[in-house]
Amino acid sequence: MDAGINPTTGDLTGQRINTLANAVYIRLMTPLATWWKDPTLGSRLHELRREKDRPRVGILAQQYAKQALKPLLDDGRAKKITISADQPHNGWLTLQIEIVDATGNPQVFRQPLRVI
């Protein structure tokens, strides 16, 4: 049994793996084109770590997440993906990702991102 990944810390949870949750985490948190086997895997979200906490950063985060998660739609693991950003301007931005998986079950993921 593989362990799931905690999206806040990146640590293994020790609980049963949720393949969609791990796919979302890996696609969002891996810098784009850094995995040798698939140069399309990953996102540009790592570029936002040094950005100031401005409203445009929330828009960029949503666009980068949408690009990173598009392969889940293409390969049929997800039917619909909706992304919104919560930006309380305290140095953190939280992406809320709602995914309707291939079986029609909705799943919600929250991914915190640090900004300056």
Q: What CATH number did the domain enclosing 72 receive?
A: 3.10.450.40
Provide mean pLDDT across the span 41-63.
Answer: 93
Name the percent of the chain lying above pLDDT 70: 91
Q: Is the pLDDT of residue 80 over 50?
A: yes
Structural domain including 32 reads: 3-114
Task: Grade residue 8 by pLDDT with cuts at 50, 70 and 90.
Answer: confident
Q: How far apart are CA 19 and CA 45, in angstroms?
A: 21
Model pTM above 0.75: yes
How does residue 1 score in pLDDT terms, banded at 50, 70 and 90? Answer: very low
| Number of structural domains in the chain | 1
Contact 99, 23 (CB under 8 A): no
